[in-house]
Amino acid sequence: MNVCIKADQLTVRFSQEPILDHLSFEVPEGMIFGLLGPSGAGKTTLIKVLTGQLCQKEGKAELFGKDTRSLTAAEHGKIGAMLDNCGLYERLSVYENLSFYADIYRVSRRGIPDILKSVGLYEARKTAVSKLSKGMKNRLSLARALMNHAKLLFLDEPTSGLDPVTTREIHGILTEERKKGTTVFLTTHNMFEAESICDYVILLHRGNIIERGRPADICRKYDHLNKLHITLTDDTELTLDNNSASASAIKEYLEQDRIRSIHSSEPTLETAFIELTGKGLQ
Amino acid sequence: MKNIIAIFKKQIRDTLRNKTVLIQFLMFPAMTLIMNHTVRIPDMPQNFFVNLFAAMYIGMAPLTSIAAVISEEKEKNTLRVLILSNVKSYEYLLGIGSYVWLACMAGSMVICISGHYDWKTGLIFMGIMAVGILISLLIGAVIGIGSRTQMMATSITVPVMMIFSFLPMLSLFNGTVAKIARFAYSEQISRMLGSINSFELTAERIGVIGANIFIAALVFAATFRKCDLS
Ligand SMILES: Nc1ncnc2c1ncn2[C@@H]1O[C@H](COP(=O)(O)OP(=O)(O)OP(=O)(O)O)[C@@H](O)[C@H]1O
Ligand SMILES: [Mg+2]
């Protein structure tokens, strides 16, 4: 399998403080790769390095085998980016924004209606961007990133602040893109997002990779954190390990008819994150 | 070249909906048209308003509008996305610069027509405007590239613009100011416009304007290299 992105001991410092600390990872072609971490972890900084907007002094980062500090038109032509701050022309309409970029990307304007339909903005094509909601702006900047049929998409928090319906629509578009063979590199601090659409995730904390793997594998690794939460009829709450050691206690409560509710909490990426850092993701 | 044209066209669309920039382009040409045809003061020098407003137009319109356009694109991150999409910094600046230059030349045309010059003097007038607008463009671009936000650009543009566009007027009233003002392109251009019927290129004029272009270009190049566009 071809490697799209490769980082080797990548380090970025702002006034001596390491913001990204000796990161090494590879992103194979054709997967949705998630970078999960709380605010300030360094996600945006990493995207900036990988897209050549920020040049690191230590370590290496490569895009399609090319050092990110010297990307050329050939690499730029293969990437699409949706940055955390949209970068749209507020006074131009939805359609005008895309038609301008069609010229810049040298692609036909005839594809614009289809792209607009796929992100659900066709009806709003004549609306000025300044009049769009945040979710619509996000979808428009995703549409722009999709315009040049990039092989690699960088998406910085594509769904942050969006309602569940729009979020699901965007996830749908991303899985469609993956089917076409596009590699997606996305950042998020939403563990559900990471679990539901990412093929592989990296957990980033203060510039360090603290865990990596397929979401399901990571969760399984923290299975010892799987607990049973039991509420008894007299409102006592108990937390027991979800294994055979708890069996006799539960059997007893059941026989005495004392259980009001019983829930299991399977480990999530968030559980893993809390276990590793002592902090939540939000 | 395609990028430059695309940026140029985008900027036309954008300006039509951008009142602050639009007013910059239209205000002085409109004022010249109106004042020149309505206000009559006894003993007023020939084409008084044409010369006055033409000089102010050069000092204000290109400078403020290009600084506003560039700094806004920096602030709103649209410039970053463009650069990421393979647009070269020079392509961007050429697209925006040629647009502002042409828009100001169109405005100058209106001022020129209000002057009722014969066609030869009219050409000289437009030539003087072309050079003046170019220098202002360079200064405005320096401010735009150097500022992180539009607010910051405006706060630098206003004093710079005031100095260049009011110098010619102030030097009419004050001898000391006139002595210093000689070294500013706006003053030289205003003098040339004032004596356009007996137009001649003196060594002083060529020297001062040449030096102004040179300094502006130098500062522009330095700012461009230091700040780039990101
Ligand atoms: N230009 C800069 N100069 C100094 N420090 C910076 C700069 N840019 C980012 N930082 C610092 O780097 C750290 C990581 O920032 P970054 O924007 O990459 O975080 P993030 O993971 O994207 O967070 P968020 O989820 O809030 O977007 C932060 O502590 C931030 O203060
Ligand atoms: Mg961020």
**Distances B50 to A264, B31, B33, B168 between C-alpha atoms, Å:** 83, 9, 8, 14
CA distance B145 to B71: 7
Around Cβ B101, how many Cβ atoms within 10 Å?
A: 17
pLDDT score at A36: 92
Does the distance separating the beta carbons of A83 and B80 come in below 8 Å? yes
CA distance A70 to B48: 56
Residue to mutate (ligand 1; options A13, A14, A53, A157; most atoms within 8 A of CB): A14
pLDDT digits (tens, 9 = 90+) for B3-39: 999 999 999 999 999 988 899 899 989 988 888 888 7
Around Cβ A61, how many Cβ atoms within 10 Å?
A: 24
Task: Report whether pLDDT(B41) > 80.
Answer: no
As a whole number, mean pLDDT of residues B154-176 equals: 85
Note which residues in 192-231 of chain A have CB less than 8 A from chain B.
none
Q: Which residues line ligand 1 (CB under 6 A)?
A: A 14, 19, 37, 39-45, 84, 189
Rg over CA atoms, chain B: 18
pLDDT score at B14: 94
Q: Smallest Cα–Cα separation from A59: which of A78, A46, A71?
A: A46
The residue whose two tokens read 């799987």 is A226
As a whole number, mean pLDDT of residues B69-88 equals: 89
CA distance A105 to A147: 8
pLDDT score at A282: 66
Task: Report whether pLDDT(B71) > 90.
Answer: yes
Task: Report whether pLDDT(B226) > 90.
Answer: no
Tell which of B81, B87, B96, B230 to mutate to test the A interface (max A CBs under 10 Å).
Answer: B81
pLDDT score at B139: 93
Phi and psi at A152, nearest 5°, equal -135, 125
CA distance B210 to B19: 34
As a whole number, mean pLDDT of residues B105-128 equals: 91
Q: Whose CA is nearest to atom 26 of ligand 1?
A: A39
Q: What is the A44 CA–ligand 1 centroid distance (Å)? A: 7
Does the distance separating the beta carbons of B9 and A76 come in below 8 Å? no
Does the distance separating the beta carbons of B87 and A104 come in below 8 Å? yes
pLDDT score at A118: 84
* A259-265 sheet: strands from edge to edge: A237-241, A227-232, A259-265
pLDDT score at B228: 65
pLDDT digits (tens, 9 = 90+) for B167-217: 877 887 888 888 888 888 888 888 888 888 777 778 888 888 888 889 988
Ligand having the closest approach to the CA of A13? 1
CA distance A170 to B47: 63
Nearest-CA distance from A140 to chain B in Å? 13
CA distance B229 to B83: 8
Predicted TM-score (pTM) of this structure: 0.83
Asked whether the beta carbons of B183 and B208 are under 8 A apart, the reply is yes
Tell which of B74, B76, B84 to mutate to test the A interface (max A CBs under 10 Å).
Answer: B84
Residue percentage of chain B with pLDDT more than 90: 38
Atom of ligand 1 nearest to the CA of A46: 18
Q: Which residues contact B132 (CB under 8 A, 6 or more apart)?
A: B55, B58, B185, B186, B189
As a whole number, mean pLDDT of residues B149-171 equals: 87
Atom of ligand 1 nearest to the CA of A160: 25
pLDDT score at A250: 86
Q: What is the A43 CA–ligand 2 centroid distance (Å)? A: 6
CA distance A277 to A281: 10
Which amino acid, A55?
A: C
Ligand having the closest approach to the CA of A21? 1
Contacts of A128 in chain B (CB under 8 A): 17
Q: What is the ipTM of this complex?
A: 0.86
Asked whether the beta carbons of B192 and B130 are under 8 A apart, the reply is no
Query: A109-114, long-range: CB within 8 Å, 24+ apart, which pairs?
Result: A111/A147, A112/A147
Residues of chain A with pLDDT under 50: none
Around Cβ B201, how many Cβ atoms within 10 Å?
A: 10
B14 touches chain A (CB under 8 A): yes
CA distance B166 to B151: 22
pLDDT score at A129: 95
pLDDT score at A57: 84
Query: A162-168, long-range: CB within 8 Å, 24+ apart, which pairs?
Result: A162/A134, A162/A135, A162/A138, A163/A135, A166/A135, A166/A138, A166/A139, A167/A193
pLDDT score at B133: 94
Residue percentage of chain B with pLDDT more than 70: 99
Q: Which of B77, B82, B86 is closest, CB to CB, to A73?
A: B86
**Distances A145 to A75, A87, A88, A184, B148 between C-alpha atoms, Å:** 14, 11, 11, 11, 25
| H or E stretch covering A262 | strand A259-265
| Cα B112 off chain centre by | 16
pLDDT band at B230 (very low <50, low <70, confident <90, very high): low
pLDDT score at A185: 95
pLDDT digits (tens, 9 = 90+) for A81-135: 888 777 899 999 999 999 999 999 999 999 999 999 888 899 999 999 999 988 8
Q: For A29-177, list the strands marked E by DSSP.
A: 32-36, 58-63, 66-67, 79-82, 152-156
| Cα B165 off chain centre by | 10
pLDDT band at B134 (very low <50, low <70, confident <90, very high): very high
Asked whether the beta carbons of A238 and A187 are under 8 A apart, the reply is no
Q: Whose CA is nearest to atom 14 of ligand 1?
A: A42
Q: Which of A89, A106, A148 is closest, CB to CB, to B14?
A: A89
Q: What pairs with residue A238 in β-bridges?
A: A230
Q: What is the A156 CA–ligand 2 centroid distance (Å)? A: 7
Contacts of B6 in chain A (CB under 8 A): 100, 103-104
